[in-house]
A and B are shown apart, each in its own frame.
Chain A
Amino acid sequence: MTTAAQALVGASTEFLKRFSPFDQMEPEALDFLGERLQLGHFAKGTTILSPDMGQPRHFFIIQRGKVQASQAGSVAVTEYASMTLGPGECFPIGAISAGRPTTNNYVALEDSFCYQLPARDFMELMRISPEFHVFCTQYIASLLNQSRLQLQTTFSQRAAEQQTMTTPLGHLIKHDPVFVTPDTPTRSALEIMAEQRIGCMVVVDGDHHPVGILTQSDLLPRVVLPEFDLSRPISEVMTSKPHVLSVAATAYDAALEMATHAVRHLLVVDSRERLKGVVSERDLFTLQRIGLRQIRASIEGAEDIEALQRASQDIRQLALNLIAQGIGAEQLTRFISALNDALTRRIITLELGRHDLHGIAFSWIAFGSEGRHEQTLSTDQDNGIVYAAGDADKTEIKRKLLAFAKDVNNALAACGFPLCKGNIMASNPELCLTLEEWQQRFGAWIREPDPQALLNASIFFDFRVLYGNERIGDELRHWLLKAARNNSTFLRMMAHNALQVAPPLGRIRDFVVEDDGMIDLKKSGARLFVDVARILSLRSDVESSSTVQRLRISGQKSGMPDDEIDAMVEGFHFIQLLRLRAQHLDTEHDEPGDNKINPDQLNELDRRILKEAFRQARKLQLRLKLDYQL
């Protein structure tokens, strides 16, 4: 170092020493910092750092001026929505330590001089200066604390709003849908839009199935600028394969769907895929405030597995906060499932970019708890693929799909969904099948039921399409319901299996516990409801794969009083809630202890409710016993 350089270093370290943590910093660390600092200038109003700049390349210390830090997302994760930083204050700390984009926008409020330290030198400084290290880690810890408290207050304030999040879309539709057929001249469609003042026009086929959509924002690029001939049919300018959700899907699903695909309108269809209405972003606008944009940003903007790993951590963190806040189990499990869906879809999208599956029709299917929308924080992956192929190219297509599935399975594992111990994964050649092969597989279970085989196969009956052509999944479901409904031997054996585990209710003591004094809420709790609900749905032609929906719909079909149905559903929810409470962020997935609780450690109220929940399970089992005379 020249003496001139030393003089400049000295000038800046003199300045830094007026502020914490530099006033306490070890002399050699301070020199290290001074030697590597660069001075920059930011004119008033310019952005110094923002989330879209990616990983921060510099750590900034304000030398003169004012910088405003404001939250980029829609939900405040810290106690400030925006704050002003002045001389001696630094940013970003969390983002640069973690090597992730910042969540704030940093803008110069006035002409400002900022020292900047290259990211790798920041890391080195953390390493060589215990003082600086403590400063940064404490800062991050306080941020986390702030964010936790903040989330709790945020969510408690919005408890009422939260309730609306589970509103089925069927209830959100305000008026009958306006639609035209594909051959309608574009001009007529636009005239209707103008006349009715609607933001989009739906195009349906003869069976009322939506086949396309044209929104106001499509008009400029597709109609006006290309000078599209308005006498041509609307089918030539519409977006085909519009995003569709069922009437039973919730506002949560809709908001997430919009967020994930960046669309403003969703078409709502009934169980036969007929158009029921349109839900717009504005209908859900209150939901925009619950941080979906943030979650979307983290999931949708993820360009690699590392980013998704962080998103998955964020989901867990948020879920834990919600538990602490006392959110209901149904909302929470749906919430987790919905976000995990988005995460899985993003992984699939990323992997599709690396595998050439062009021209291959396939669907990614979730089984088990994910198939039922009932994921907790401790879930390993259960998935498969349905694909279409002619005999000629089948081997090659399957080879490609398996390679792709293997990468998706590994990516999911990297994001916290451990590989399935039972190998129920799409990368297993036995579970990457054509529609016909799946039908054969289900057909074998149904026609020649074997108790042990059925026990293992039960999770396959709780499936839904996560990615790809939903029709394939629906087709399989219709076929399956039909095949199961007419086969009483199969249903009876399923019932027999479902009754193998009794609720842990004691005759003398409240609960029958395992040797370690614990109750396994998955094995002897939730599963009891799930198994019965599955049989009821197969028997009474209920398409939903969710336990609660299955109980409700099949209960209604068999004439059960509403209050009895409610009691069953509540029982199931309470057990799910206790499970969630028992799961911790710091335990690995599917640890044996994950679903266990010690009933002696529950408070009196919870004990009573749990007892009642088990009684509801017993009631359900009893019905099954009577129905099948087991």
Chain B
Amino acid sequence: MNWLTKIFSGDHPAASLPEALRGRLERWRVLEAPALDANHGELRYVIVNTEATGLDPANDRLLAVAAIGIDRGVLAHRDAFEMSLDTPAQTLVALLEFIGKSPVVVFNADLNRQALMAAFETHLGFEPDLEWLDLYWLLPCLFNDKHDRPVRLKDWMKTMAVETFQRHRALGDAFAIAKLFLAAQSRATIRGLRTPRSLMELATTRKRQQRAIRS
């Protein structure tokens, strides 16, 4: 069964999506995903960061979402996005369009990814298939000379002398995360980790190890 038929049948939230949004979603869906074995300098990553009423994705509500592109190794000021969730379906479709099929970089996927996926499911009726990279796990692998275990965004910003114009807001924190990712990219390249795939594997392995230690 095709996903559209599934979505647009019966009382599914997505069934009530306006035609225009449906068309945009369909266009997003057929976009080609970049090769995960391409070099950092050849593709675009998108930093995504959410702002919510609290830190519990199960009960708190998303307020806003921001995204910043890192295209072929650099952050261009024009390549930035921020919207409130006042009109959730509109915002989420626009966010998907901004991301395209680029790998998504977040700080603390447990929070951001879950909150976003829940919102996608609720308002669009499906969970988009995206590649995720979590700096929370990646940074301590690359910068073990600074922190050898996961620490908070605030601590990384302090250690790496990264500033932003506004903390605890979707775009402000996204900007800080984007800068951390730029630094991570150069450190990774020096260590021979030149592709999104290699970074994702590193972060995932680290996360698994950490979980294994705890259990």
Interface residues of A (CB under 8 A from B): 1-5, 7-12, 14, 34-43, 46, 64, 111, 113, 116
Contacts and interface: CB of A to CB of B under 8 A. Distances in A.
Contact of B77 (A38, A41, A64, A111): A38
Contacts of A41: 179, 182-183, 185-186
Interface in B8-66: 66
A38 B165 contact: no
B80 A4 contact: yes
B190 interface: yes
B182 A113 contact: yes
B77 A2 contact: no
A43 B186 contact: yes
Given A7-B171, A43-B190, A111-B183, A2 B82 contact: yes
A39 B179 contact: yes
B74 A38 contact: yes
A14 B175 CA distance: 15
Given A11-B165, A64-B161, A37 B183 contact: no
Contacts of B179: 39, 41, 113
Top 6 nearest A-B pairs by Cβ distance?
A41-B182, A4-B82, A4-B80, A43-B186, A38-B74, A11-B165
B182 A35 contact: no
Contacts of A64: 161
Contact of A40 (B165, B171, B182, B189): B182
B81 interface: yes
Contacts of A5: 77-80
A426 B189 CA distance: 54
A395 B171 CA distance: 75
A122 B187 CA distance: 29
17 contacts: A2-B82, A4-B81, A4-B171, A5-B78, A5-B80, A7-B80, A7-B82, A7-B171, A8-B77, A11-B165, A38-B74, A38-B76, A42-B186, A43-B187, A46-B186, A111-B160, A113-B183
B77 A35 contact: yes
A489 B30 CA distance: 94
Interface in B165-215: 165, 171, 175, 179, 182-183, 185-187, 189-190
Interface residues of B, number: 26
Interface in B141-172: 160-161, 164-165, 171
Contacts of B80: 2, 4-5, 7-8
B75 interface: yes
A12 B77 contact: yes
A34 B186 contact: no
A267 to B, nearest CB: 46
Nearest to B79: A5
**In this complex, which of B66, B78, B81, B183 has the most chain A Cβ atoms within 10 angstroms of its Cβ?**
B78
Given A7-B171, A8-B68, A113-B179, A38 B75 contact: yes
B78 A3 contact: no
Contacts of A46: 186, 190
A292 B179 CA distance: 43
A1 B76 CA distance: 12
A545 to B, nearest CB: 56
Contacts of A39: 74-75, 77, 179, 182
A37 B186 contact: no
A111 B186 CA distance: 9
B73 A1 contact: no
Contacts of B171: 4, 7-8
A5 B76 CA distance: 9
Given A2-B82, A4-B66, A43-B186, A11 B76 contact: no
A8 B175 contact: yes
Contacts of A4: 66, 68, 80-82, 171
Nearest to A1: B78
Contacts of A37: 76-77
B175 A11 contact: yes
Contacts of B190: 43, 46
B77 A34 contact: yes
A40 B74 CA distance: 5
Contacts of A7: 80, 82, 165, 171
Contacts of B189: 43
Contacts of B74: 38-40, 116
Nearest to B82: A4
Given A41-B182, A64-B161, 12 more contacts: A2-B80, A3-B82, A4-B66, A4-B68, A5-B79, A7-B165, A8-B77, A37-B76, A38-B74, A43-B189, A46-B186, A113-B179
Given A5-B78, A116-B74, A11 B164 contact: yes
A42 B73 CA distance: 10
Contacts of B81: 2, 4
Contacts of A116: 74
A113 B171 CA distance: 19
B125 to A, nearest CB: 27
A35 B78 contact: yes
A399 to B, nearest CB: 49
A34 B75 CA distance: 12
A13 to B, nearest CB: 10
A12 B74 CA distance: 14
B143 to A, nearest CB: 10
A48 to B, nearest CB: 11
Contacts of B186: 41-43, 46, 111
Nearest to A37: B77
Nearest to A10: B165
Nearest to B70: A39
Contacts of A43: 183, 186-187, 189-190
Nearest to B172: A7
Nearest to A13: B77
Nearest to B80: A4
Contacts of B182: 39-41, 113
Q: Report which residue of B76, B77, B160, B179 has the largest number of chain A beta carbons within 10 angstroms of its beta carbon.
A: B77
A31 to B, nearest CB: 11
Contact of A9 (B77, B161, B183): B77
Nearest to B189: A43
Contacts of B76: 37-38
Contacts of B187: 43
Nearest to B160: A111
Max chain B C-beta neighbours (<10 A), residue from A8, A37, A40: A8
Interface string B81-121: 11000000000000000000000000000000000000000
Most A CB within 10 A of own CB, among B80, B160, B161, B187: B80
A599 B178 CA distance: 71
Nearest to B186: A43
B167 to A, nearest CB: 13
Contacts of A36: 77
Contacts of A9: 77
A4 B82 CA distance: 5
A46 B175 CA distance: 24
Nearest to A38: B74
A9 B80 CA distance: 10
Nearest to B181: A41
Interface string B115-141: 000000000000000000000000000
Nearest to B75: A39
